[in-house]
Amino acid sequence: MTIRESAENYLETILMLSERLPVVRSVDIATELNFKKPSISVAMKHLRENGYITVTEQGYIYLTDKGQEIAETMYERHKFLSSWLIRLGVDEKTATEDACKIEHDISKESFEAIKKYISGH
């Protein structure tokens, strides 16, 4: 199943927030991404219906195993690519923005090859 880039971003954001906050709610995601709450609610509904998250009665959002796997993949790519670009001399803001773009489009094969190449040097 192909997942859209926006869904990957939401899942990655939920993962990042869950590392900083005791619980993640829609309002936390809205604040983090600077989106309006109704947009987040629609996105969370789609993620829930597709089995990527669960939402408790209190509104706490948790990643399912499937959602966690995608979030961790995106987060690993993001951290790796942004740190690599910074080491190449790209300023942090640009490196972070570019890593966010690249992380969604690069194939698993190419990402692993880049990681292997860089680790060997």
Q: Are residues 28 and 59 in the same domain?
A: yes
One DSSP character per residue, 11-63 reads HHHHHHHHHHSSS--HHHHHHHHT--HHHHHHHHHHHHHTTSEEE-TT--EEE
pTM of the model: 0.86
Residues 78 and 95 in one domain: yes
Please write the tens of the pLDDT for every residue from 14-24: 999 999 999 99
Q: Hunting for tokens 């009665």 — which residue is that?
A: 57
Q: How confident is the model at residue 104 (pLDDT cuts 50, 70, 90)?
A: confident
Angle between helices 26-33 and 37-49 (to 10 degrees): 120
Q: Residue 90 carries which side chain, given as an amino acid letter?
A: V
Let me know whether 75 and 94 are in one domain. yes
Residue-range definition of the domain harbouring residue 28: 5-67
Q: What does the pLDDT read at residue 42?
A: 93
Q: Do 48 and 102 sit in the same domain of this protein? A: no
Together in a domain, 88 and 101: yes
Say which CATH number the domain at 39 has. Answer: 1.10.10.10
Q: Residues 13, 32: one domain? A: yes
Q: What is the pLDDT of residues 52-96, one digit of tens each?
A: 999 999 999 999 999 999 999 999 999 999 999 999 999 999 999
Quick one: pLDDT at residue 87? Answer: 94
